[in-house]
Amino acid sequence: MNALAWQLRQWARRLGAAGLAGLGLLAAALLVRLIAVEQAQDAVAAQHARLAGLRLAAATRAAKPAPPPVNPLAMLPPAGTASQQIGELEQLARAHGLDLPRGQYSVAPLAGTSLARWQLVLPVEAPYPALHAFLAAALERQPNLTLDELKLKRERIESAELQAELRLSLFVEAAP
């Protein structure tokens, strides 16, 4: 063991301080290579494997035929349900504190289609938040209902009540 220690001291004396520092840095670089670079290479290999799996999954999805497109007009309710939907609209108005005392209703077929359009003109007196909540709920619950026009009028600037005129359209499937 003494001979080995003597040999190491001889090498250290020949290398000097700069040589020993260089040897230490070389050892540190090898250690970093073994630890950090190997881990990074393992992570890259795992990412390549994951990418190959995703490409395979995308290729199998692309090979499946797409479902046939859905015609939104085919999902419209039949014309016989229009009065029921108008009734639901009036119930929704009452639930939001609105009174619909009178309204104008007319129905007309849409030329070149199998659709009918119910036009509703509803005068309303209500505060803006209630009117807004009613319109949002009605348009959300009845996807075949559209807001065509909204006229707002206030008698005095400090008044909380609005006089509104709602023009709505309700689209239904006309009888063949």
DSSP element (H, E) containing 171: strand 161-173
Question: How far, in whole angstroms, is CA 118 from its chain's centroid?
Answer: 31
Same domain, 62 and 79: no
In tens, the pLDDT along 27-76 reads 888 888 888 878 888 889 999 999 999 998 888 877 777 677 766 666 67
Extract the tokens encoding 87: 């009734």
Task: Please count the residues of the chain.
Answer: 176
| Domains: count for the chain | 2
Higher pLDDT, 10 or 44: 44
Instruction: Say what the pLDDT of residue 18 is.
Output: 82
Same domain, 95 and 36: no
Same domain, 95 and 156: yes
Instruction: Give the contacts of 11 (CB within 8 A, at least 6 positions apart).
Output: none
Instruction: Say what the pLDDT of residue 15 is.
Output: 73
The beta strand positions in the chain, using DSSP E, are: 104-109, 115-127, 145-153, 161-173
Same domain, 79 and 61: no
Domain residues for the domain of 116 are 75-173
The pLDDT confidence band at residue 119, using thresholds 50, 70 and 90, is very high
Q: Domain containing 112 — which CATH number?
A: 3.30.70.60
Query: For 116-135, what is the mean pLDDT?
Result: 91
Whole-number Å distance between alpha carbons of 117 and 82: 10
Same domain, 25 and 105: no
Instruction: Say what the pLDDT of residue 82 is.
Output: 80
